[in-house]
A and B are shown apart, each in its own frame.
Chain A
Amino acid sequence: MKAPRIPTEELMGSGHLACQGCGATQAMRFALKALGPKTALTIPACCWAVIDGTFPHSAVDLPIFHTAFETAAVTAAGIKAGLEMRGDKETTVMAWAGDGGTYDIGLQALSGAAERNDDIIYVCYDNEAYMNTGIQRSSSTPVGAWTTTTPVDNYKREPKKNMIEIMAAHSIPYIATCSVAWPEDVIDKFRKAKEMKGTRYIHIFAPCPTGWKLAPELSIQMARRAVTSRVFPILEITEHGEKLEVWKDFEPTPVREYLKPQGRFKHLTDEELDGIEKDVERRWQRLLAREKMMASIPGME
């Protein structure tokens, strides 16, 4: 009989503390299915610091070291070094941080680890705000969104920071984005990352019904529409930042269908929605142009 595409083994239990429909829990579940039991985790302050469960319980059947908010990448690097010096060269060490811990407060330590090409998998589960502290803006929060620090009268005016380009500038061996709406893709990318050495950066789009003012049952649908509307492109960057492949093999859907069900965008006028649509299109075209440009560099065809 053919082995199932998705391993049936569960390394994450159901007794976690996340809200209903939490994308971040799906993300972890799929990632661990790919990485398997020889994995050690470090988690900084973020929703996942709570989701894991309170002392003395843990929802994950792996060693987890909880660390300070801005230190996920370097703590992982320290763990890897510590394990190696003890003779354990096999264990995969994964840092698992939110967008706040990645784009903002943890960016320096992440950049340090990536520049040194420390042998870790770094994951950013992106729910586009500081959810743990009650939905405040991060530099990953998209333009137009409401959060508790970007109230509707003064919603977020600045575009989402381009984290992927920042990571690509570090020339690390592997960068990938994925969405919890495509479990197989998530698993394939973690499997691929596991086989590599050096700093591997995986960015998972993980809707947060609580913070997005979204019905929990729509969480996965939004994770899908974010991709098909081209708001969140699925891509891989390999060859140390030199090769970019963008996933285009899907039926495009309107940006409005992604924004409308989410309460965090409810205040936007038709004009403002038009503006966002244009912006998404421009960014998508720029990404495709970049893909083409990179492929045209002699030796990269």
Chain B
Amino acid sequence: MKKVIMGNHAVSYGVRASEAKVISAYPITPQTHIVELLSEMCANGEIDAKFIKVESEHSAMAACVGASAAGSRAFTATSSQGLLLMHEMLHWAVGARLPIVLANVNRAVGPPWSIWTDQNDSLSQRDVGWLQIYCESNQEVQDTIPQAFKIAEQLQMPVMIVMDAFFLSHTFEIVDIIEKEQVREFLPPYEPEIKIDTADQHSFGNLAGPDHYMELRYMIQEAMDRGLDVIKKVNKEFEEIFGRGYGLIEPYRCDDAETILVTSGTVSSTTRAVIDELRDEGVKVGSLKIRVFRPFPTEEVFEVLSKAKKVAVIDRNISFGAHGIFYQEIKSALYGRTDIPILGYIAGLGGRDVTPKVIREIADKAIGDEQPERYINWIGVKI
């Protein structure tokens, strides 16, 4: 059934269809609608789940950790300060190899207080070991939830779904709602081999000496290494049932492109419109959306970008003292294999609009700059 819903509710419908068994969350703008609708669904029986209404995000993730270790499918959603407060427990979920799914609505971090979008919250969790998938439309958000559970459960790794504040969370779009009866065929009930169970006792997370710790970390990286194939396979299975699918990356008009703009999140859709405009003018440009950020699809990215003459990365984030974070990732994906210039552009922090005009400005600069002085360029800063 098709419905016009906001991005936040697309998350809730995805969770309903995935039959999560334990949900624990704490309110924060702009994520709040996700948990409001979920608590309604739990109350009216649309979802057969326990909703633990905790006193903080740190506890929300701890509750998910406990529930998942006990063998139940667990979900939470948060944003910005909430995600940062969870940080310790994000690590815990990875170390304990728990397939928790979290939806993060990208919101800028304070101070100063901001409720508007940028990616510094999720990207500052880059190295904890969560898979990260950046979505662009409400349909993609909904569909990615059951995919995320399946990926997570196959890898025994937690997955974060990321979406822009307001541009997605509060924007209404048509979504083909998926139902649990259909999803069951795609996503079987969660039956972990090892869980907290008095009939089959295990001790989880005991002190491990230098003799063991490193092997456990190696196994996490191994799971990440398998991640890209699992994501592709899971997407294919989803596509077979629902007729929709999403790539690790999404190239747009890249085949003969001399300049490629690299994007993520909702900036990607705006960029495509600008690409069409430039193509109409005869300019050979294309764009590449990075959807899966962790594990990073290095080969896929290289495949597309190595054919271009120049790459321009748009970052709605900044790693202070270095560069935009996607910029750094792209640079390391291409390192030593090509010498095409890679330019970085910081735009849209704290929810500032990244309009077609802004993207046009970036494209013009990127195409025009033969040997740019700066590899990091701030767009639209009034200083």
Whether B44 is near chain A, meaning CB under 8 Å from some CB there, is: no
- Least Cβ distance of A13 to chain B in Å? 12
Whether B363 is near chain A, meaning CB under 8 Å from some CB there, is: no
Whether B41 is near chain A, meaning CB under 8 Å from some CB there, is: no
Interface contacts (Cβ under 8 Å), in number, total: 157
Collect the chain B residues with CB atoms within 8 Å of residue A77's CB.
52, 63, 66
**CB proximity to B under 8 Å, residues A108-135:** 108-109, 111-112, 115-116, 118
Whether B212 is near chain A, meaning CB under 8 Å from some CB there, is: yes
Q: A40-B196, A109-B62 given as contacts; is B52 within 8 A of A116 (CB)? A: yes
Whether B246 is near chain A, meaning CB under 8 Å from some CB there, is: no
Q: Which residue of A63, A71, A78 contacts B203 across the interface (Cβ within 8 Å)?
A: A63
Whether B291 is near chain A, meaning CB under 8 Å from some CB there, is: no
**CB proximity to B under 8 Å, residues A22-75:** 37-40, 42, 49-50, 52-58, 60-68, 70-71, 74-75
Interface residues on B, range: 35 or more
Q: Which residue of A42, A50, A88 contacts B66 across the interface (Cβ within 8 Å)?
A: A42
B67-85: CB near A (< 8 Å → 1, else 0) gives 1111110100000000000
Whether A152 is near chain B, meaning CB under 8 Å from some CB there, is: no
Question: Complex formed: what's the CA distance from A54 to B213 in Å?
Answer: 11
| Structural contact, A112 and B54, CB atoms closer than 8 A | yes
**CB proximity to A under 8 Å, residues B47-100:** 48-50, 52-56, 58-59, 62-72, 74, 88-89, 92, 96
Collect the chain B residues with CB atoms within 8 Å of residue A60's CB.
203
A78-105: CB near B (< 8 Å → 1, else 0) gives 1111111110100100000000000000
Collect the chain B residues with CB atoms within 8 Å of residue A168's CB.
none
Collect the chain A residues with CB atoms within 8 Å of residue B64's CB.
78
User: What are 30 A-to-B residue pairs whose CB atoms are below 8 Å?
Assistant: A39-B198, A40-B70, A49-B206, A53-B206, A53-B207, A54-B207, A54-B208, A55-B207, A55-B208, A55-B209, A58-B203, A63-B202, A64-B204, A65-B96, A68-B89, A71-B58, A74-B63, A75-B66, A78-B65, A78-B67, A81-B66, A82-B68, A82-B70, A85-B22, A85-B49, A88-B197, A108-B59, A109-B55, A111-B55, A112-B54
By a beta-carbon cutoff of 8 Å, the part of chain A in contact with chain B is 37-40, 42, 49-50, 52-58, 60-68, 70-71, 74-86, 88, 91, 108-109, 111-112, 115-116, 118
